[in-house]
Structure 1
């Protein structure tokens, strides 16, 4: 959910430049079930405009209405929203509403942490009650142990008597797309809606511009012989879509040095055995663990035909891999969706 916090911070800065105050609403506790879980946030500006969501859209209007007192007296508070009688969620949300001010030193540390792909810890201090005011607030801790408050009104020394919700925000999930054709553009555009950090590698002979890939973080022209990957970790997926078996093979050989979570390759099913055989020829000691990360043809079997549909099937497969879920229709589920 780091991408949601990025959007909130970016909008908060814009609001501050306009002279508008901001408050932040965070779901800090849940009794029962809800559409979204603790840790989701929404930003409300003094003109009562909002960014982000804490539910499917049913709770937000009430939160905006009940945030007005925080603007007027600068006192954080906790409210509840009982969905058992108004929603199909059967749960009670506890929501912390606090003043939200972005200082330059916090923004610098936040930007640096994202650039270095570091985790960020947020501790929100509250009490389980409705429409209650107190010394509530959130404390952000970075890897270098720097700490920042979202609001000057939060007295850290009085936090020990309160409940605390702790959230560890992982770096944005990273998607590397190797390919520069029309289908790669579609995959980039759709994946960007998930808040993924997307880097695109096109052919050195036909390199593209960043403007060609809406939502991309970077676009470079390179080759499997010269490329040097960085920051490939367990929360990284790679989709190879060169439409060239030779180029695909070269990139997979190069990637054998790394440990991405997922490697998807476009192509017909009958290419898979050939690809694996040639990998053994070039890398005799290649591990089964690495081979298990290769998904070819990439995507779930949902009948996808168009580039957009194929992109959806690939993204769905990546999600199933990183979430460690075997895909099936939710209508077959008898228990809770999320344990």
Structure 2
């Protein structure tokens, strides 16, 4: 019996409901709230750099996909799209009137990695914690994207807290209740944090996110631009709960398959309740480098924005699982194959700003 058959046979997943205690950075009192908590808005970025996106047709496809995601989210919460002023008129043609444009220049669309990471304290004060983006180890142009978090903090007049780390928000998952998980390959790497040990990096991540515990698995070094970001594989859906996307028939020669199984086993051994969903089998894009991740969804106020890949069976399994993990939210599915061809997904293209009272 493969993993998909096991999931279908098991029926509804029994969700763990233990309460979590919000943690905070003891030095500043700030922490990153759960992603599924209420949002003030969503930030996104406009893919505009013609050196990054040299193919005009594909660049237009990427822009349309970003507009589709922004428009879908804007039905549930405000969306701010970051783009240079000269790109506003062309972007506006594709955007809902409810999507706001800010004059902050961008290179690419990956706001999870280069955008601001918002933190809050018990008084409801907001700040931005900065994990410095460097184009995934200077693998891509990042003249504008490396400055986005700082520019958003200036625009909003928020404190800008430097973490001392180089990396990306998509390289770490947090449950908002004191627990982080990550692949070592995205952090313990000379192209991001040269000379730093895993323990040193962990201490800085815990401080940046206001967390007190971290789960590591190995990941995959130098096989993709992100060094295997965790958010395309596994996501926290609440305290003690993880949703993970695994292949039905893992290929022992595929380093990503083997690393995914290792991460699954590490999470189970750590005592988390882990729900497995399959990767799509029949999909529109037949390319071994295509990222087909159901786990790379985005939770917004009242909805979850989820990719569909054209495999009716696995698309439905994923939607049903996400609906169980986020009861009461509408499931909105989108064709975001363009992002998969670029190595990412919906979560990679979004960044939440928590609501505070």
Provide the TM-score with structure 2 as the length reference: 0.26
Provide the TM-score with structure 1 as the length reference: 0.27
Larger radius of gyration: 1
